Structure 1
Amino acid sequence: MCAAERSDDGRYVLIGGRRWRASDPLLPPDVRERLVGHLMAARRAVASARRRGDGDAEGVARGRVQRAKEGLGERGRPWWELPRAERRRRWESALGDLDSGER
Protein backbone atom coordinates (compact mmCIF):
# COMPACT_ATOMS: atom_id res chain seq x y z
CA MET A 1 0.00 0.00 0.00
CA CYS A 2 1.41 3.38 -0.92
CA ALA A 3 1.41 6.34 1.43
CA ALA A 4 -1.24 8.96 0.85
CA GLU A 5 -0.11 12.28 -0.51
CA ARG A 6 -0.89 15.41 1.48
CA SER A 7 -2.12 18.65 0.02
CA ASP A 8 0.36 21.53 0.15
CA ASP A 9 -1.46 23.06 3.12
CA GLY A 10 -1.57 19.71 5.00
CA ARG A 11 -5.34 19.83 5.39
CA TYR A 12 -6.15 16.99 3.02
CA VAL A 13 -4.83 13.60 1.98
CA LEU A 14 -5.11 12.56 -1.65
CA ILE A 15 -6.04 8.92 -2.21
CA GLY A 16 -6.91 7.53 -5.61
CA GLY A 17 -7.44 10.99 -6.98
CA ARG A 18 -9.91 11.91 -4.23
CA ARG A 19 -9.35 14.51 -1.55
CA TRP A 20 -10.15 13.57 2.06
CA ARG A 21 -9.81 15.74 5.14
CA ALA A 22 -6.68 14.87 7.10
CA SER A 23 -6.75 14.05 10.79
CA ASP A 24 -5.97 16.88 13.17
CA PRO A 25 -2.15 17.07 13.41
CA LEU A 26 -2.49 18.33 16.99
CA LEU A 27 -3.71 14.89 18.13
CA PRO A 28 -1.24 13.19 20.47
CA PRO A 29 -0.18 9.80 19.04
CA ASP A 30 -1.89 7.79 21.80
CA VAL A 31 -5.16 9.69 21.33
CA ARG A 32 -5.03 9.21 17.57
CA GLU A 33 -4.38 5.49 18.06
CA ARG A 34 -7.38 5.13 20.38
CA LEU A 35 -9.69 7.05 18.04
CA VAL A 36 -8.55 5.00 15.03
CA GLY A 37 -9.16 1.83 17.08
CA HIS A 38 -12.71 2.98 17.80
CA LEU A 39 -13.19 3.90 14.13
CA MET A 40 -12.05 0.49 12.88
CA ALA A 41 -14.20 -1.35 15.45
CA ALA A 42 -17.22 0.73 14.44
CA ARG A 43 -16.61 0.04 10.76
CA ARG A 44 -16.46 -3.69 11.50
CA ALA A 45 -19.73 -3.35 13.45
CA VAL A 46 -21.37 -1.63 10.47
CA ALA A 47 -20.33 -4.50 8.19
CA SER A 48 -21.52 -7.12 10.67
CA ALA A 49 -24.88 -5.40 11.15
CA ARG A 50 -25.34 -5.14 7.38
CA ARG A 51 -24.60 -8.86 6.94
CA ARG A 52 -27.24 -9.63 9.59
CA GLY A 53 -29.72 -7.15 8.14
CA ASP A 54 -29.93 -5.38 11.51
CA GLY A 55 -30.76 -1.77 10.63
CA ASP A 56 -30.86 -0.62 14.26
CA ALA A 57 -27.38 -1.98 15.01
CA GLU A 58 -26.10 -0.53 11.76
CA GLY A 59 -27.41 2.91 12.73
CA VAL A 60 -25.69 2.72 16.12
CA ALA A 61 -22.44 1.60 14.51
CA ARG A 62 -22.60 4.38 11.91
CA GLY A 63 -23.08 6.87 14.74
CA ARG A 64 -19.88 5.56 16.32
CA VAL A 65 -18.04 5.91 12.99
CA GLN A 66 -19.23 9.52 12.83
CA ARG A 67 -18.15 10.23 16.41
CA ALA A 68 -14.67 8.75 15.85
CA LYS A 69 -14.25 10.74 12.62
CA GLU A 70 -15.31 13.91 14.46
CA GLY A 71 -12.76 13.20 17.19
CA LEU A 72 -10.07 12.75 14.56
CA GLY A 73 -11.05 16.09 13.06
CA GLU A 74 -12.06 14.49 9.77
CA ARG A 75 -15.71 15.53 10.08
CA GLY A 76 -17.52 18.46 11.61
CA ARG A 77 -16.02 21.90 11.65
CA PRO A 78 -12.55 21.79 10.07
CA TRP A 79 -9.79 21.56 12.67
CA TRP A 80 -7.87 24.45 11.08
CA GLU A 81 -10.77 26.77 11.86
CA LEU A 82 -10.80 25.93 15.58
CA PRO A 83 -8.63 27.23 18.40
CA ARG A 84 -6.32 24.65 19.99
CA ALA A 85 -8.42 24.39 23.14
CA GLU A 86 -11.58 23.62 21.16
CA ARG A 87 -9.76 21.00 19.10
CA ARG A 88 -8.65 19.34 22.32
CA ARG A 89 -12.18 19.45 23.77
CA ARG A 90 -13.49 17.82 20.60
CA TRP A 91 -11.20 14.81 20.77
CA GLU A 92 -11.58 14.45 24.54
CA SER A 93 -15.37 14.52 24.21
CA ALA A 94 -15.32 11.97 21.38
CA LEU A 95 -13.07 9.64 23.36
CA GLY A 96 -15.27 10.00 26.43
CA ASP A 97 -18.35 9.05 24.41
CA LEU A 98 -16.66 6.20 22.56
CA ASP A 99 -14.94 4.77 25.64
CA SER A 100 -18.26 4.76 27.52
CA GLY A 101 -20.10 3.12 24.62
CA GLU A 102 -22.20 6.19 23.76
CA ARG A 103 -22.78 7.35 20.24
Structure 2
Amino acid sequence: MTPEENAPETTPDGHYLVINGRKWRASNPWIPPKLHQELVDELMSARRAVKEGKADARKRVNDAKVALGERGQPWWEDPEPKALSDRTAAAIRALLSKRAGTSICPSDVARIVSGPENSWRGYVNQVRQITAEMAAQGEVVATQKGKPVEADRVRGPIRINLSNPEK
Protein backbone atom coordinates (compact mmCIF):
# COMPACT_ATOMS: atom_id res chain seq x y z
CA MET A 1 0.00 0.00 0.00
CA THR A 2 1.18 3.49 -0.78
CA PRO A 3 1.06 6.18 1.93
CA GLU A 4 -1.85 7.80 0.07
CA GLU A 5 -3.85 4.54 0.17
CA ASN A 6 -3.03 4.12 3.86
CA ALA A 7 -3.91 7.73 4.80
CA PRO A 8 -7.15 8.27 6.71
CA GLU A 9 -10.16 9.69 4.92
CA THR A 10 -10.60 13.45 5.24
CA THR A 11 -13.49 15.81 4.79
CA PRO A 12 -13.45 17.62 1.41
CA ASP A 13 -12.05 20.79 3.01
CA GLY A 14 -9.24 18.83 4.74
CA HIS A 15 -10.16 20.19 8.16
CA TYR A 16 -11.13 16.84 9.66
CA LEU A 17 -10.02 13.21 9.50
CA VAL A 18 -12.81 10.63 9.34
CA ILE A 19 -11.94 7.53 11.35
CA ASN A 20 -14.56 4.81 11.85
CA GLY A 21 -17.23 7.32 10.85
CA ARG A 22 -16.16 9.85 13.47
CA LYS A 23 -14.65 13.25 12.63
CA TRP A 24 -11.42 14.37 14.33
CA ARG A 25 -9.81 17.74 13.73
CA ALA A 26 -6.77 17.40 11.48
CA SER A 27 -3.39 18.85 12.42
CA ASN A 28 -2.45 22.19 10.93
CA PRO A 29 -0.89 21.31 7.53
CA TRP A 30 1.16 24.53 7.54
CA ILE A 31 3.43 23.41 10.36
CA PRO A 32 6.82 22.52 8.82
CA PRO A 33 7.27 18.71 8.65
CA LYS A 34 10.20 18.48 11.11
CA LEU A 35 8.38 20.55 13.74
CA HIS A 36 5.12 18.69 13.09
CA GLN A 37 6.89 15.39 13.73
CA GLU A 38 8.42 16.71 16.96
CA LEU A 39 4.95 17.73 18.18
CA VAL A 40 3.48 14.35 17.20
CA ASP A 41 6.35 12.60 19.02
CA GLU A 42 5.66 14.72 22.11
CA LEU A 43 1.94 13.90 21.87
CA MET A 44 2.66 10.16 21.71
CA SER A 45 5.13 10.41 24.61
CA ALA A 46 2.56 12.32 26.66
CA ARG A 47 -0.14 9.74 25.88
CA ARG A 48 2.18 6.98 27.11
CA ALA A 49 2.78 9.05 30.25
CA VAL A 50 -1.00 9.26 30.82
CA LYS A 51 -1.16 5.45 30.80
CA GLU A 52 1.69 5.39 33.33
CA GLY A 53 -0.23 7.81 35.56
CA LYS A 54 2.34 10.62 35.45
CA ALA A 55 1.10 13.85 37.04
CA ASP A 56 1.74 16.33 34.20
CA ALA A 57 0.82 13.97 31.35
CA ARG A 58 -2.65 15.33 30.55
CA LYS A 59 -1.29 18.89 30.39
CA ARG A 60 1.40 17.67 27.99
CA VAL A 61 -1.22 15.99 25.78
CA ASN A 62 -3.27 19.18 25.72
CA ASP A 63 -0.23 21.35 24.92
CA ALA A 64 0.79 19.11 22.02
CA LYS A 65 -2.74 18.99 20.61
CA VAL A 66 -3.19 22.78 20.90
CA ALA A 67 0.22 23.34 19.26
CA LEU A 68 -0.73 20.96 16.43
CA GLY A 69 -4.01 22.83 15.94
CA GLU A 70 -6.12 19.83 16.95
CA ARG A 71 -7.61 21.72 19.93
CA GLY A 72 -8.36 25.36 20.60
CA GLN A 73 -9.46 27.72 17.87
CA PRO A 74 -9.51 25.95 14.48
CA TRP A 75 -6.28 26.54 12.56
CA TRP A 76 -8.11 27.52 9.37
CA GLU A 77 -9.77 30.52 11.04
CA ASP A 78 -8.12 33.91 11.53
CA PRO A 79 -6.76 33.59 15.06
CA GLU A 80 -8.19 35.60 17.90
CA PRO A 81 -5.43 37.20 20.03
CA LYS A 82 -6.17 34.98 23.07
CA ALA A 83 -6.23 31.82 20.95
CA LEU A 84 -2.92 32.76 19.31
CA SER A 85 -1.38 33.43 22.75
CA ASP A 86 -2.64 30.08 24.03
CA ARG A 87 -1.29 28.25 20.98
CA THR A 88 2.07 30.02 21.27
CA ALA A 89 2.43 29.11 24.95
CA ALA A 90 1.38 25.51 24.23
CA ALA A 91 3.96 25.25 21.43
CA ILE A 92 6.68 26.58 23.75
CA ARG A 93 5.80 24.05 26.46
CA ALA A 94 5.47 21.16 23.99
CA LEU A 95 8.83 21.83 22.32
CA LEU A 96 10.58 22.27 25.68
CA SER A 97 9.10 18.97 26.84
CA LYS A 98 10.12 17.19 23.63
CA ARG A 99 13.62 18.66 23.71
CA ALA A 100 14.10 18.06 27.44
CA GLY A 101 17.38 19.43 28.74
CA THR A 102 17.89 21.83 25.84
CA SER A 103 16.66 25.29 24.93
CA ILE A 104 14.45 26.19 21.98
CA CYS A 105 14.59 28.99 19.45
CA PRO A 106 11.65 31.42 19.26
CA SER A 107 11.68 31.04 15.47
CA ASP A 108 10.64 27.37 15.80
CA VAL A 109 7.59 28.44 17.80
CA ALA A 110 6.84 31.18 15.26
CA ARG A 111 6.99 28.61 12.45
CA ILE A 112 4.43 26.47 14.30
CA VAL A 113 1.92 29.28 14.88
CA SER A 114 2.31 31.12 11.55
CA GLY A 115 -0.19 30.69 8.74
CA PRO A 116 -0.09 29.41 5.17
CA GLU A 117 1.76 32.44 3.85
CA ASN A 118 4.76 31.19 5.88
CA SER A 119 5.41 34.65 7.28
CA TRP A 120 6.80 33.27 10.53
CA ARG A 121 9.05 36.28 11.05
CA GLY A 122 5.93 38.34 11.71
CA TYR A 123 5.19 36.12 14.72
CA VAL A 124 8.57 36.36 16.47
CA ASN A 125 7.60 39.42 18.55
CA GLN A 126 4.43 37.60 19.68
CA VAL A 127 6.58 34.62 20.73
CA ARG A 128 8.93 36.93 22.65
CA GLN A 129 5.98 38.59 24.41
CA ILE A 130 4.47 35.25 25.44
CA THR A 131 7.93 34.09 26.55
CA ALA A 132 8.22 37.21 28.74
CA GLU A 133 4.79 36.50 30.27
CA MET A 134 5.72 32.87 30.92
CA ALA A 135 9.03 34.01 32.45
CA ALA A 136 7.16 36.40 34.77
CA GLN A 137 5.15 33.39 35.97
CA GLY A 138 8.35 31.41 36.54
CA GLU A 139 7.59 28.88 33.82
CA VAL A 140 10.49 29.64 31.44
CA VAL A 141 13.69 31.67 31.26
CA ALA A 142 14.81 33.61 28.20
CA THR A 143 18.56 33.66 27.71
CA GLN A 144 21.04 35.42 25.48
CA LYS A 145 24.58 34.06 25.37
CA GLY A 146 23.65 31.87 28.33
CA LYS A 147 22.54 34.74 30.58
CA PRO A 148 18.92 35.42 31.64
CA VAL A 149 17.29 38.36 29.82
CA GLU A 150 13.86 39.96 29.46
CA ALA A 151 12.60 38.41 26.22
CA ASP A 152 10.44 41.36 25.19
CA ARG A 153 13.11 44.01 25.91
CA VAL A 154 16.41 42.61 24.66
CA ARG A 155 17.56 42.91 21.05
CA GLY A 156 19.17 40.08 19.15
CA PRO A 157 18.74 36.31 19.27
CA ILE A 158 17.46 34.61 22.41
CA ARG A 159 16.80 31.05 23.54
CA ILE A 160 13.92 29.77 25.67
CA ASN A 161 14.65 27.38 28.55
CA LEU A 162 12.59 25.75 31.26
CA SER A 163 12.97 27.71 34.48
CA ASN A 164 13.13 24.47 36.45
CA PRO A 165 14.52 21.68 34.23
CA GLU A 166 13.55 19.02 36.80
CA LYS A 167 9.86 19.61 36.05
Normalising by structure 2, report the TM-score. 0.48
Q: Is the 8 A contact 2:66 2:90 kept in 1?
A: yes
For residues 66-99 of structure 1, the C-alpha deviation after alignment (integer angstroms, 9 at most, x for no partner) is 000000000000001135xx87x93x54332123
Shift of the 80–99 alpha-carbon distance from structure 1 to 2, 3 Å rule, reads closer
CA distance in 1, matches of 2:95, 2:26: 23
**% identical equivalent positions:** 48
What is the aligned partner in structure 1 of residue 32 from structure 2? Answer: 28
2:8 matched residue in structure 1: 4
User: How big is the shift at 1:63?
Assistant: 0.7
Bigger Cα Rg:
2
Match of 1:98 in 2: 94
Residue from 49, 52, 74 that aligns with 1:48: 52
Whose helix fraction is larger, Structure 1's or Structure 2's?
A: 1
| Counterpart-to-counterpart distance in 1, 2:22 and 2:71 | 16
Give 1:64's aligned amino acid.
R
- Superposition CA RMSD, Å: 2.5
Residues paired across the two proteins, number = 91
Match status 1:15 vs 2:11: no
Distance 1:63 1:80 in 2: 24
* 1:70 equivalent in alignment to 2:66: yes
Post-superposition CA distance 1:44-79 (Å, at most 9, x none): 000011xxxxxxx34x10110000000000000000
Q: Are 2:50 and 2:57, in contact at CA under 8 Å, matched by a contact in 1?
A: yes
Give the TM-score of the pair, scaled to structure 1: 0.76
**Residue among 37, 42, 45 paired with 1:38:** 42
